[in-house]
Structure 1
Protein backbone atom coordinates (compact mmCIF):
# COMPACT_ATOMS: atom_id res chain seq x y z
CA UNK A 1 0.00 0.00 0.00
CA UNK A 2 1.17 3.50 -0.78
CA UNK A 3 0.72 6.10 1.91
CA UNK A 4 2.02 9.49 2.92
CA UNK A 5 5.36 9.65 4.69
CA UNK A 6 5.22 10.12 8.47
CA UNK A 7 8.01 11.50 10.67
CA UNK A 8 8.37 8.06 12.25
CA UNK A 9 9.38 6.74 8.78
CA UNK A 10 12.48 8.97 8.63
CA UNK A 11 15.11 6.44 9.74
CA UNK A 12 14.09 3.65 7.35
CA UNK A 13 13.55 6.06 4.45
CA UNK A 14 17.01 7.52 4.95
CA UNK A 15 18.49 4.01 5.12
CA UNK A 16 16.81 3.24 1.78
CA UNK A 17 18.14 6.53 0.39
CA UNK A 18 21.78 5.94 1.32
CA UNK A 19 21.81 2.27 0.35
CA UNK A 20 20.03 2.99 -2.92
CA UNK A 21 22.41 5.77 -3.90
CA UNK A 22 25.52 3.80 -3.01
CA UNK A 23 24.22 0.81 -4.96
CA UNK A 24 22.92 2.62 -8.06
CA UNK A 25 25.78 5.11 -8.29
CA UNK A 26 28.92 3.03 -7.87
CA UNK A 27 30.65 5.60 -10.10
CA UNK A 28 30.33 8.20 -7.30
CA UNK A 29 32.31 7.90 -4.06
CA UNK A 30 30.23 6.72 -1.09
CA UNK A 31 31.60 9.65 0.88
CA UNK A 32 29.61 12.00 -1.37
CA UNK A 33 26.32 10.43 -0.27
CA UNK A 34 27.39 10.26 3.37
CA UNK A 35 28.40 13.94 3.31
CA UNK A 36 24.94 14.88 2.03
CA UNK A 37 22.96 12.64 4.39
CA UNK A 38 21.94 15.32 6.91
CA UNK A 39 20.94 17.85 4.26
CA UNK A 40 18.82 15.27 2.44
CA UNK A 41 17.17 14.34 5.73
CA UNK A 42 16.21 18.02 6.24
CA UNK A 43 14.87 18.24 2.68
CA UNK A 44 12.90 15.03 3.15
CA UNK A 45 10.82 16.72 5.81
CA UNK A 46 9.95 19.52 3.36
CA UNK A 47 9.18 17.22 0.41
CA UNK A 48 5.99 15.44 -0.58
CA UNK A 49 7.04 11.89 0.15
CA UNK A 50 5.07 8.69 -0.29
CA UNK A 51 6.12 5.29 0.98
CA UNK A 52 5.35 1.78 -0.16
CA UNK A 53 4.29 -0.03 3.00
CA UNK A 54 4.21 -3.81 2.87
CA UNK A 55 2.66 -5.30 5.99
CA UNK A 56 3.95 -2.46 8.16
CA UNK A 57 7.44 -2.37 6.63
CA UNK A 58 8.57 0.33 4.23
CA UNK A 59 10.05 -1.20 1.08
CA UNK A 60 10.33 1.94 -1.03
CA UNK A 61 9.56 5.63 -1.34
CA UNK A 62 9.28 8.50 -3.79
CA UNK A 63 10.08 12.10 -2.90
CA UNK A 64 8.86 15.19 -4.75
CA UNK A 65 9.55 18.88 -4.54
CA UNK A 66 6.51 20.30 -6.32
CA UNK A 67 6.58 18.47 -9.69
CA UNK A 68 10.25 17.47 -9.46
CA UNK A 69 10.98 13.86 -8.51
CA UNK A 70 13.93 14.02 -6.13
CA UNK A 71 14.17 10.23 -6.18
CA UNK A 72 12.56 6.82 -6.14
CA UNK A 73 14.20 4.26 -3.89
CA UNK A 74 13.27 0.61 -3.39
CA UNK A 75 14.79 -1.87 -0.96
CA UNK A 76 17.31 -3.93 -2.95
CA UNK A 77 15.58 -7.20 -2.04
CA UNK A 78 12.30 -5.87 -3.50
CA UNK A 79 13.53 -4.32 -6.76
CA UNK A 80 12.06 -5.44 -10.09
CA UNK A 81 8.77 -6.32 -8.40
CA UNK A 82 6.84 -3.25 -9.56
CA UNK A 83 7.18 -1.13 -6.42
CA UNK A 84 8.99 1.72 -8.17
CA UNK A 85 6.44 1.68 -10.98
CA UNK A 86 3.55 1.78 -8.50
CA UNK A 87 5.09 4.73 -6.68
CA UNK A 88 5.61 6.53 -9.98
CA UNK A 89 2.06 5.81 -11.16
CA UNK A 90 0.75 7.13 -7.84
CA UNK A 91 2.39 10.53 -8.29
CA UNK A 92 1.43 10.64 -11.98
CA UNK A 93 -2.18 10.68 -10.76
CA UNK A 94 -1.42 13.78 -8.67
CA UNK A 95 0.43 15.80 -11.33
CA UNK A 96 0.08 16.59 -15.02
CA UNK A 97 3.84 17.11 -15.49
CA UNK A 98 6.83 15.61 -13.70
CA UNK A 99 10.55 16.15 -14.11
CA UNK A 100 13.72 14.59 -12.72
CA UNK A 101 17.46 14.32 -13.20
CA UNK A 102 19.18 11.00 -13.73
CA UNK A 103 22.85 10.21 -14.20
CA UNK A 104 23.79 8.98 -17.67
CA UNK A 105 25.71 6.07 -16.10
CA UNK A 106 22.63 4.94 -14.14
CA UNK A 107 21.41 2.89 -17.09
CA UNK A 108 18.82 0.95 -15.11
CA UNK A 109 17.08 4.13 -13.91
CA UNK A 110 17.33 5.74 -17.33
CA UNK A 111 15.65 2.72 -18.93
CA UNK A 112 12.98 2.66 -16.19
CA UNK A 113 12.04 6.30 -16.73
CA UNK A 114 11.97 5.93 -20.52
CA UNK A 115 9.70 2.88 -20.20
CA UNK A 116 7.40 5.00 -18.03
CA UNK A 117 6.95 7.82 -20.51
CA UNK A 118 9.75 10.22 -19.60
CA UNK A 119 11.78 11.88 -22.34
CA UNK A 120 15.20 13.53 -22.16
CA UNK A 121 15.01 17.29 -22.58
CA UNK A 122 18.57 18.29 -21.66
CA UNK A 123 22.01 17.00 -20.78
CA UNK A 124 24.41 18.68 -18.35
CA UNK A 125 27.26 18.06 -15.95
CA UNK A 126 26.29 17.76 -12.29
CA UNK A 127 28.42 20.45 -10.68
CA UNK A 128 28.75 18.46 -7.44
CA UNK A 129 29.87 15.11 -8.89
CA UNK A 130 31.19 16.03 -12.32
CA UNK A 131 28.98 13.30 -13.80
CA UNK A 132 26.78 13.78 -16.86
CA UNK A 133 23.09 13.82 -16.04
CA UNK A 134 19.92 14.09 -18.06
CA UNK A 135 16.84 16.13 -17.23
CA UNK A 136 13.75 14.14 -18.13
CA UNK A 137 10.12 15.19 -18.33
CA UNK A 138 6.80 13.36 -18.31
CA UNK A 139 3.60 15.07 -19.41
CA UNK A 140 0.17 13.56 -18.87
CA UNK A 141 -1.11 15.10 -22.12
CA UNK A 142 1.56 13.38 -24.18
CA UNK A 143 0.44 10.00 -25.51
CA UNK A 144 2.60 7.29 -24.00
Structure 2
Protein backbone atom coordinates (compact mmCIF):
# COMPACT_ATOMS: atom_id res chain seq x y z
CA UNK A 1 0.00 0.00 0.00
CA UNK A 2 1.06 3.58 -0.60
CA UNK A 3 0.64 6.04 2.26
CA UNK A 4 1.91 9.44 3.35
CA UNK A 5 5.07 9.32 5.40
CA UNK A 6 5.33 9.80 9.15
CA UNK A 7 8.34 11.14 11.04
CA UNK A 8 8.96 7.66 12.43
CA UNK A 9 9.68 6.51 8.83
CA UNK A 10 12.73 8.78 8.42
CA UNK A 11 15.40 6.35 9.66
CA UNK A 12 14.22 3.61 7.32
CA UNK A 13 13.87 6.05 4.42
CA UNK A 14 17.47 7.20 4.89
CA UNK A 15 18.65 3.57 5.08
CA UNK A 16 16.89 2.74 1.82
CA UNK A 17 18.13 5.94 0.15
CA UNK A 18 21.72 5.23 1.18
CA UNK A 19 21.82 1.53 0.25
CA UNK A 20 20.10 2.10 -3.09
CA UNK A 21 22.26 5.15 -3.88
CA UNK A 22 25.53 3.30 -3.32
CA UNK A 23 24.43 0.52 -5.69
CA UNK A 24 22.78 2.67 -8.39
CA UNK A 25 25.47 5.35 -8.34
CA UNK A 26 28.53 3.11 -8.38
CA UNK A 27 30.39 5.89 -10.21
CA UNK A 28 30.22 8.14 -7.12
CA UNK A 29 32.22 7.17 -3.99
CA UNK A 30 30.08 5.66 -1.21
CA UNK A 31 31.70 8.16 1.16
CA UNK A 32 29.82 10.96 -0.63
CA UNK A 33 26.46 9.31 0.11
CA UNK A 34 27.50 8.59 3.70
CA UNK A 35 28.33 12.26 4.17
CA UNK A 36 24.80 13.21 3.07
CA UNK A 37 22.83 11.00 5.50
CA UNK A 38 22.12 13.60 8.18
CA UNK A 39 21.22 16.25 5.59
CA UNK A 40 18.73 13.85 4.00
CA UNK A 41 17.16 13.04 7.38
CA UNK A 42 17.11 16.54 8.84
CA UNK A 43 16.62 18.77 5.79
CA UNK A 44 15.66 17.26 2.43
CA UNK A 45 13.16 14.54 3.33
CA UNK A 46 11.21 16.62 5.90
CA UNK A 47 10.80 19.43 3.34
CA UNK A 48 9.33 17.12 0.69
CA UNK A 49 5.92 15.55 0.18
CA UNK A 50 6.82 11.89 0.82
CA UNK A 51 4.89 8.74 0.02
CA UNK A 52 5.82 5.33 1.38
CA UNK A 53 5.28 1.92 -0.20
CA UNK A 54 4.65 -0.47 2.67
CA UNK A 55 4.00 -4.22 2.71
CA UNK A 56 3.18 -6.10 5.89
CA UNK A 57 4.50 -3.28 8.04
CA UNK A 58 7.80 -3.05 6.14
CA UNK A 59 8.82 0.01 4.13
CA UNK A 60 9.91 -1.15 0.66
CA UNK A 61 10.48 2.25 -0.94
CA UNK A 62 9.46 5.88 -1.17
CA UNK A 63 9.00 8.83 -3.49
CA UNK A 64 9.65 12.45 -2.52
CA UNK A 65 8.06 15.39 -4.34
CA UNK A 66 8.61 19.11 -4.14
CA UNK A 67 5.85 20.60 -6.22
CA UNK A 68 5.99 18.78 -9.55
CA UNK A 69 9.61 17.69 -9.14
CA UNK A 70 10.48 14.13 -8.13
CA UNK A 71 13.40 14.69 -5.76
CA UNK A 72 13.80 11.05 -4.81
CA UNK A 73 12.50 7.64 -5.81
CA UNK A 74 14.28 4.85 -3.98
CA UNK A 75 13.43 1.20 -3.49
CA UNK A 76 15.18 -1.09 -1.01
CA UNK A 77 17.73 -3.07 -3.07
CA UNK A 78 16.24 -6.41 -2.03
CA UNK A 79 12.78 -5.25 -3.21
CA UNK A 80 13.73 -3.85 -6.62
CA UNK A 81 12.23 -5.30 -9.78
CA UNK A 82 8.81 -5.92 -8.22
CA UNK A 83 6.93 -2.90 -9.62
CA UNK A 84 7.22 -0.78 -6.47
CA UNK A 85 8.99 2.11 -8.20
CA UNK A 86 6.44 2.14 -11.00
CA UNK A 87 3.56 2.09 -8.46
CA UNK A 88 5.03 5.05 -6.57
CA UNK A 89 5.62 6.97 -9.79
CA UNK A 90 2.06 6.27 -10.99
CA UNK A 91 0.78 7.51 -7.62
CA UNK A 92 2.71 10.76 -8.11
CA UNK A 93 1.32 11.07 -11.65
CA UNK A 94 -2.24 10.88 -10.30
CA UNK A 95 -1.46 13.76 -7.94
CA UNK A 96 0.28 16.02 -10.46
CA UNK A 97 -0.42 16.89 -14.10
CA UNK A 98 3.27 16.93 -14.93
CA UNK A 99 6.50 15.78 -13.30
CA UNK A 100 10.20 16.41 -13.72
CA UNK A 101 13.25 14.71 -12.28
CA UNK A 102 16.99 14.46 -12.67
CA UNK A 103 18.84 11.21 -13.21
CA UNK A 104 22.58 10.67 -13.52
CA UNK A 105 23.57 9.88 -17.10
CA UNK A 106 25.68 6.94 -15.92
CA UNK A 107 22.69 5.43 -14.12
CA UNK A 108 21.42 3.81 -17.33
CA UNK A 109 19.05 1.45 -15.54
CA UNK A 110 17.14 4.36 -13.97
CA UNK A 111 17.21 6.39 -17.19
CA UNK A 112 15.59 3.51 -19.12
CA UNK A 113 13.08 2.93 -16.31
CA UNK A 114 11.92 6.55 -16.50
CA UNK A 115 11.71 6.39 -20.32
CA UNK A 116 9.46 3.31 -20.01
CA UNK A 117 7.31 5.30 -17.59
CA UNK A 118 6.75 8.04 -20.17
CA UNK A 119 9.46 10.55 -19.27
CA UNK A 120 11.50 12.26 -21.98
CA UNK A 121 14.96 13.76 -21.73
CA UNK A 122 14.82 17.56 -21.85
CA UNK A 123 18.36 18.74 -21.07
CA UNK A 124 21.66 17.88 -19.38
CA UNK A 125 23.71 19.59 -16.72
CA UNK A 126 26.65 18.87 -14.46
CA UNK A 127 25.72 18.24 -10.82
CA UNK A 128 27.61 20.76 -8.71
CA UNK A 129 28.05 18.30 -5.83
CA UNK A 130 29.33 15.24 -7.69
CA UNK A 131 30.65 16.63 -10.98
CA UNK A 132 28.58 14.01 -12.82
CA UNK A 133 26.22 14.72 -15.72
CA UNK A 134 22.51 14.66 -14.90
CA UNK A 135 19.67 14.41 -17.40
CA UNK A 136 16.54 16.44 -16.71
CA UNK A 137 13.53 14.32 -17.64
CA UNK A 138 9.93 15.43 -17.93
CA UNK A 139 6.49 13.83 -18.05
CA UNK A 140 3.21 15.54 -18.82
CA UNK A 141 -0.28 14.09 -18.72
CA UNK A 142 -1.80 13.72 -22.17
CA UNK A 143 -5.02 15.71 -22.36
Shorter-chain TM-score category? over 0.9
Q: How far apart, in 2, do the equivalents of 1:38 and 1:65 lie?
A: 19
Between the two proteins, the alignment pairs up a number of residues equal to: 142
Per mean C-alpha deviation after superposition, the further-off stretch among 124-133 and 97-106 is 124-133
Tell me, which stretches of 5 or more residues in structure 2 are unaligned?
none
Specify the alignment match of 2:12 in structure 1: 12
Q: How far apart, in 1, do the equivalents of 2:89 and 2:72 lie?
A: 10
Specify the alignment match of 2:25 in structure 1: 25
**Runs of 4+ displaced beyond 4 Å:** none
Q: How far apart, in 2, do the equivalents of 1:107 and 1:26 lie?
A: 11
SS in 1 for 2:95: coil
1:138 aligns with 2:139: yes
**Structure-1-length-normalised TM-score:** 0.96
Alignment of structure 1 residues 100-139 onto 2, 5 Å: 100-139=101-140
Specify the alignment match of 1:43 in structure 2: 44
